[in-house]
Structure 1
Amino acid sequence: MRSVPGRRRIAAAALALAATAPLLTGCLQEASPHDAVRDFLVGWQSGDHMLAARRTDGDPAEVAKAIGDVRLDLDAASFRFQVTGITSEGDTAEARYRAEVDLGENNPLWVYDGVLPLHLVDGQWKVRWSPSVLHPKLGPGQRLAVEPTSGGRQPILDREDDPLQTNAVLYVAGVTPATVDDPQKVCAELAKVTGFAQDRLFSRVRSAPPKTFVPLVTFGRQKFAELRAELEAIDGIEIDQQEQPVAPAAPKQIVGTVSAVTPETEQQLGGPQRAGDSIGLDGLQKAYQDRLTGATGTKVVTIDLKTGETVTKLAEWPGRANAPVSTTIDSRLQRAAESAVSATRRSALVAVKPATGEILAVSTKGMHQVKDALAGKFPAGSAFSVVAADALLKSGVKTTQKLPCPQSRSVGGARFQLTREASSRTLSFRRSFTEGCVTALAALARRVEASSLVASATAYGIGSEWTLPLSSYSGTMPGMRSDAAKAQAIVGQNVKVSPLAMALVAGAVASGTWHPPVLVTSPAQPLPSDDGETVVRQPDPVRLNADTVKTLRSLMRAGVTSGSAAAAAATTGAPVHGIVSAPVDGRSWFIGWRGEVAVAVLVEGGDPAAVAGAFFRYATAAS
């Protein structure tokens, strides 16, 4: 985030003067050329331009104005000087200095070496005045100017490098200084219409080359329509229409929205507007704002006052190049996901690639794609029995073991209730798993250690410290010091997860290895932390026990062919594997996979298996 210009100017100038003035006065004590050099540089640095001007042989008023104009011409935050040497011979002398000019707006310091020729005038040392004392290449009839350059905004791309947004027109209001009679008046009127600070608008105009279009304020379509008449009434204002990739396509909340900078958001960018300035408000547009927009390039040039043409380029900083952001989103699957959830009231669907953890699609209805699908904290319900089964199978439970499936049961004082009628009062572990008989599954709490449940949850990424550029949640396991707590964990009552976490669980069974999630491939992870220094690395993939995974795949295939997830079956393509959870707080899950796509579907008041089945069918039709 760029600094706030007004505050930076005051602080930088004060610090520079406090640091440098003692240095100059401390090392230049003699009544000699040193005194004139000291007063000239201290006056220039501190803004006491008349002090500096009186130490020259020019007209004090004209010289003071010329020195003050340099600050305005550069829109400089501060000047800082260091004397690097003084030589004298008779009644002439020469001082050499190094200048550090803070051009503001996060530009680098402009450092250059200058020369002050001096001579004795009526017994006093004076700087021999000419524009070249301000910069060696500044000639008579010339001034300094700053020319910024911007590359606009780059797109966010799907896995096939197609943009995940469409172009929209931004309207840039600005001026060409050479064609404006009264820039102050124009900026005052523009400030009144837009709310931007007049002095910042004017400083941008004042420091620019006169024949260059200077962008001042950028508007979206709606805001421009509201203000168009007022803007067109300002004599000298020009409107430049620019197309930029700012209108998000699905998944819209993942991609994020973009706004033209307003007076309220200007502080986030710092400084006056530039052509196409825009700010990501949320999603990946916000997370990668600096990459997508880059950093403004800057040139310092000399300008011929008569012609307005550039004479010499004195310095140039290209800025940081902008670049697109590449994601793992599969637009074909994203469209299938959007269609699949469209008939629901409230739902979230996350699809991942089992072999890599890449997020292929995120779609919601009545929920938020980031806050709920990636970062939601929902009870896992009996969908968590996939993870619990991993621990139970390793603890010796057989899939053929007979288990009573009563309508209700108490385990260690915790009560469990069926929400739908079981097919039989006695089921095998396989049938209890595929039908989601929570009363039978909870009874197995005494057959497994809490540490085993935790170990399996960890292997499947629950509670893992992964990192994504957007908020996400890997889940939490409870402390389990009793059979009741273990039973509640087996059926997911006290386990919190996100749809993303459960999609990765399904992907882990499908591939045999749990992978951390990946959403952005360029720039590549790992990502820098909030302090910009520490590197945050993804956890390593976890290879699962092959025999246990083989059994889990068989169980999850049965969940579709003969269990409660039958609605997820697809008529074509690879077979579907999955299970449906018993409802918790009115919400139920489907987790499973078909081919190279694993999904988690969370639905409120509906059948998640039907949503998953629709997703697979739409995906097949679109392929």
Structure 2
Amino acid sequence: MRHATKSAAVATVALAMLAAGGYGAYSLVGLTGKSTAAPAPKPSAQVTSPPTAALAADTANAFLAAWSKGDVVGAAQLTDDTQSALAALTAFQTNLKPTGLTLAVSGPATAAAFASATAGPSPTSASADPAAGASGSPSTANQVLESFSAKAAFAGTSSTWQYTGYLAVERTGDGSTAVHWAPSVIYPQLSTGEGLAIQRISAAPSSVTDRNGKPLTNFPSLTPILAQFQQQVPTADAADAGSAVVITDATGQATAQPLFTITAPKPAQPFKLTIDARVQAAAEQAVQAQYGNGAKPSAMVAIEPSTGQILAIANAPATQYDTALLGTTAPGSTMKVITATALLHAGISPDATMPCPSSYIVGQKYQNDFTDARPNNTFTQDFAASCNTAFIKQATQTLQPGDLAQTAKDYFGIGTDWKIGVTSVDGSVPPAGQSSDETAAEYIGQGKVTMNPLQLASVAATVESGTFRQPILVPGLPQPPAAQSLPSGVLSNLRAMMNAVFTESDGTAYPLNAGLSGNIGGKTGTAEVGAPGTPTNSWFTAYRDDLAVCAEVIGGGYGAQAAAPAVIQVLKVGNPG
């Protein structure tokens, strides 16, 4: 599974479904035009002396006159690349269908003016460097640069699109003159492979709110997420969309900023996310408390198990890396939820004796967070106390290579491509083919396993509900299912084991269970990262009724020290619905 950040596109990709197909074709009445049969090629040999000012102006005027009346063949014949010019001019007429087009030479232009006009961003490049923008910059000695005024009228509006264009006239080998063809002749900011089109545009929402219509602007962790939606959310109803002239690349993808609005879209309504303001407030407070306790970066995600809807996303500090959605670190013993699922599915009973030695060697020496051996432990006790050695020993003897990755994918959706509505990074569990030492480490959430709070909140949510529901931030987004729901026997045993983390006297979260009622379960994690001696990351994932929460505190130590108190703080708030 890749670690590369998924482009949020994130918001645009996630919301294309809501826009009833995203951008669509917009048909307007246009000019008739002449035949588009391919004209004869222009002589390509060039000379080094430019045409006279009068000849350059005459050629430019003739070209613009033919183009403006729809004679694309005649216009193309006045260029040094008839085939390319014909294709581009035909596309202009076909795609834009202007009801009127007025083009007139303004006079000689400077190279500096041309460079400035071509420096604007295009949909395929964020660069403002003219060298990265439009092609065909007139810089050769045999060319004269002319500017021209362009006015295009469209059905549906009394306004006209006006811009200043540029073209270069050159002397050719047969002594005649020709317009030097480049995409920038059509519009200064066009590069090779780009064109103009009319496409739908939609108004940005008047506001982005939580699922109950409450404002979200006071939550610092959500600021970058809200910005994505404010800029990119399309109107859900296609009838409310407007239309505009845009630059498109070879695939038809349009720039986010229209060049000219033909018809304005209707004002958009507030757009609701799945976030719950009350849960978000609790999550913000929880991560800020951990960050303030020694400046440890903290992150949290809360999910509604019954729906998969994301109720909270919090990071502290909010102005730095989005660990909650983009993190790629070892999850430590929270991974034992998935390892335990694989062992239960393989037939290991929760009451089976599973000795917990003080150390165990598979390539390297593995130890626990406690020093004593516990030879009479059961599987459930090992899970509750988080015995690394018991898990590695039993999993090594019971599971086959690849079982862990398959379990993660089949039951928890980890290893599939999540599209939650904004940019996120998927979790990763290596497939079969790893070394025995690496595989042993993966059973306890070390090695090459990487997760973030989003995935592990989903793991807890899956156990609470029994079924994986891909997390989403936008109501109505597709939620591809995992291959299987958790088998009933495995599910009931797994829930009991996660409950023991809170209720058994040796459970890692037992000292923190005061005030927690209802259906609860959890798992702590202590993840070793970096060189020996580097502070461990603190993890905790848990659920209480219809609320699942995971937190990671970088350098926070044991799971019960930092992440667990943060998660429990939010669980006590509950899911207000």
TM-score range (shorter-chain normalised) is 0.5 to 0.7
Residue aligning to 2:346:
395
SS at match of 1:392: helix
Residue aligning to 2:282:
336
SS at match of 2:341: helix
Structure number with the bigger relative contact order (C-alpha 8 A, sep ≥ 6) is 2
How far apart in 2 are the matches of 1:400 and 1:343? 38
Matches within 5 A, 1:136-147: none
Question: Does structure 2 conserve the Cα–Cα contact (< 8 Å) formed by 1:370 and 1:470?
Answer: no
- With over 3 angstroms needed to count, the CA separation of the structure-2 counterparts of 1:69 and 1:550, relative to structure 1, is closer
Question: Does structure 2 conserve the Cα–Cα contact (< 8 Å) formed by 1:516 and 1:541?
Answer: no
Residue aligning to 2:503:
561
Residue aligning to 1:518:
472
Question: Does structure 1 conserve the Cα–Cα contact (< 8 Å) formed by 2:352 and 2:378?
Answer: yes
How far apart in 1 are the matches of 2:332 and 2:65? 60
Select which of 252, 255, 258 maps to 2:222.
Answer: 252
Residue aligning to 2:305:
354
Matched, 1:163 2:215: yes
Matches within 5 A, 1:449-464: 449-458=400-409, 459-464=411-416
Residue aligning to 1:488:
441
Matched, 1:546 2:488: yes
Contiguous gaps of at least 5 residues in structure 2: 1-11, 13-22, 24-59, 78-100, 108-147, 154-158, 166-185, 245-260, 292-296, 530-535
Select which of 379, 387, 391 maps to 1:437.
Answer: 387
- Measured after TM superposition, the shift of residue 333 of structure 1 is 0.8
- With over 3 angstroms needed to count, the CA separation of the structure-2 counterparts of 1:339 and 1:48, relative to structure 1, is closer
How far apart in 1 are the matches of 2:74 and 2:405? 68
- With over 3 angstroms needed to count, the CA separation of the structure-2 counterparts of 1:478 and 1:68, relative to structure 1, is closer
- With over 3 angstroms needed to count, the CA separation of the structure-2 counterparts of 1:426 and 1:107, relative to structure 1, is same
Matches within 5 A, 1:177-576: 249-253=219-223, 255-256=225-226, 280=227, 283-288=228-233, 317-319=263-265, 321-345=267-291, 346-366=297-317, 371-411=322-362, 413-421=363-371, 424=374, 426-444=376-394, 445-458=396-409, 459-481=411-433, 482-494=435-447, 495-521=449-475, 524-526=476-478, 538-539=480-481, 542-562=484-504, 563-576=507-520
- With over 3 angstroms needed to count, the CA separation of the structure-2 counterparts of 1:46 and 1:610, relative to structure 1, is closer
SS at match of 1:474: coil
Return the structure number with greater strand share: 1
- With over 3 angstroms needed to count, the CA separation of the structure-2 counterparts of 1:21 and 1:423, relative to structure 1, is same
SS at match of 1:373: helix
- Measured after TM superposition, the shift of residue 570 of structure 1 is 4.4
How far apart in 1 are the matches of 2:407 and 2:73? 66
- With over 3 angstroms needed to count, the CA separation of the structure-2 counterparts of 1:396 and 1:332, relative to structure 1, is same
Question: Does structure 1 conserve the Cα–Cα contact (< 8 Å) formed by 2:405 and 2:431?
Answer: no
- Measured after TM superposition, the shift of residue 402 of structure 1 is 2.7
Residue aligning to 1:74:
160
Computing the radius of gyration from Cα coordinates, the structure with the larger value is: 1
- With over 3 angstroms needed to count, the CA separation of the structure-2 counterparts of 1:485 and 1:249, relative to structure 1, is closer
How far apart in 2 are the matches of 1:617 and 1:506? 16
How far apart in 1 are the matches of 2:483 and 2:473? 16
- Measured after TM superposition, the shift of residue 342 of structure 1 is 2.5
Contiguous gaps of at least 5 residues in structure 1: 3-9, 28-43, 51-66, 80-100, 111-148, 166-247, 257-279, 299-314, 527-536
Aligned AA for 2:425? Y
- Measured after TM superposition, the shift of residue 469 of structure 1 is 2.5
Question: Deviation digits for residues 239-296 of structure 1, max 9, x if unmatched?
Answer: xxxxxxxxx535424533xxxxxxxxxxxxxxxxxxxxxxx4xx4334438889x977
Displacement over 6 Å in runs of 4+: 13-16, 67-73, 104-110, 149-152, 289-292, 294-298, 367-370
Question: Does structure 2 conserve the Cα–Cα contact (< 8 Å) formed by 1:567 and 1:613?
Answer: no
Question: Deviation digits for residues 301-356 of structure 1, max 9, x if unmatched?
Answer: xxxxxxxxxxxxxx972436534321110111111112222221322111101111
Residue aligning to 1:183:
none
Work out the number of aligned pairs and report it.
Answer: 386
Question: Deviation digits for residues 543-571 of structure 1, max 9, x if unmatched?
Answer: 21111010000000000112001244241
> TM-score, normalization: structure 1?
0.54
How far apart in 1 are the matches of 2:572 and 2:461? 19
Question: Does structure 1 conserve the Cα–Cα contact (< 8 Å) formed by 2:149 and 2:164?
Answer: no
SS at match of 1:404: coil
- With over 3 angstroms needed to count, the CA separation of the structure-2 counterparts of 1:46 and 1:448, relative to structure 1, is same
Aligned AA for 1:543? S
Question: Does structure 2 conserve the Cα–Cα contact (< 8 Å) formed by 1:336 and 1:618?
Answer: yes
How far apart in 2 are the matches of 1:109 and 1:575? 55
Question: Does structure 2 conserve the Cα–Cα contact (< 8 Å) formed by 1:297 and 1:320?
Answer: no
How far apart in 1 are the matches of 2:333 and 2:75? 78
Give the RMSD, CA atoms, in angstroms: 4.3
- With over 3 angstroms needed to count, the CA separation of the structure-2 counterparts of 1:450 and 1:74, relative to structure 1, is same
Aligned AA for 2:490? T
- Measured after TM superposition, the shift of residue 156 of structure 1 is 0.5
